[in-house]
A and B are shown apart, each in its own frame.
Chain A
């Protein structure tokens, strides 16, 4: 079973609109969540990370975390065509052999002009 679940699998928003992406871990041993963005044919690049309950904002991007439900969400306001990419959520899960970063399968975002 995938330990990191993302929804929706794909999302289409109009230019200027708000995109909301969700991620939940089924493993309680999570200490960090990360959001990566992967443009087509490119490698993933880290967008934002969060480990405390609450909200973190950087420019047009806002990340929320609810540690009790192990749920994080990424919101992109004023979406631009250049935001079209695969958004990957990763959870840092600790275990007896150390931390491991487990990725979800991503949400494919398309921003239509």
Chain B
């Protein structure tokens, strides 16, 4: 069973609505990644953090997507104004620093109607 906890498992939103999902990384893992996996299995890197700081993010993330990893709280990914093309499985993964093995959560499946 994954030690990376993602909630909710399923999220249904209308176009233009906000969509927020959360992730609790594995204990002791300061590095957190968010990926989007679409229906064609394409994995898109969105953003990653080390502790509370953003390490890298893609341009798309800077516009409608926002993410944070506050101390002592779950990490979150929020889409400000959902679009149909955002429908996908959002995977959170955590790792130790300087180690590339990612441990994935079960994901949040977002459907934008």
Contact = CB atoms under 8 A, between A and B. Distances in A.
A43 B33 CA distance: 14
B60 to A, nearest CB: 15
B43 A46 contact: no
Interface in B47-90: 48, 55-56
A46 B55 contact: no
Contacts, number: 48
Given A43-B107, A100-B45, A105 B40 contact: yes
Contacts of B106: 42-43
A43 B43 contact: no
Contacts of A103: 35, 43, 45
29 contacts: A34-B100, A42-B106, A43-B91, A43-B104, A43-B105, A43-B106, A43-B107, A44-B102, A44-B104, A46-B103, A49-B100, A49-B101, A88-B43, A92-B100, A97-B55, A97-B56, A98-B55, A99-B100, A100-B45, A100-B48, A100-B56, A101-B33, A101-B100, A103-B35, A104-B43, A105-B41, A105-B43, A106-B41, A108-B41
Interface of B: 2, 33, 35, 40-43, 45, 48, 55-56, 91, 100-107
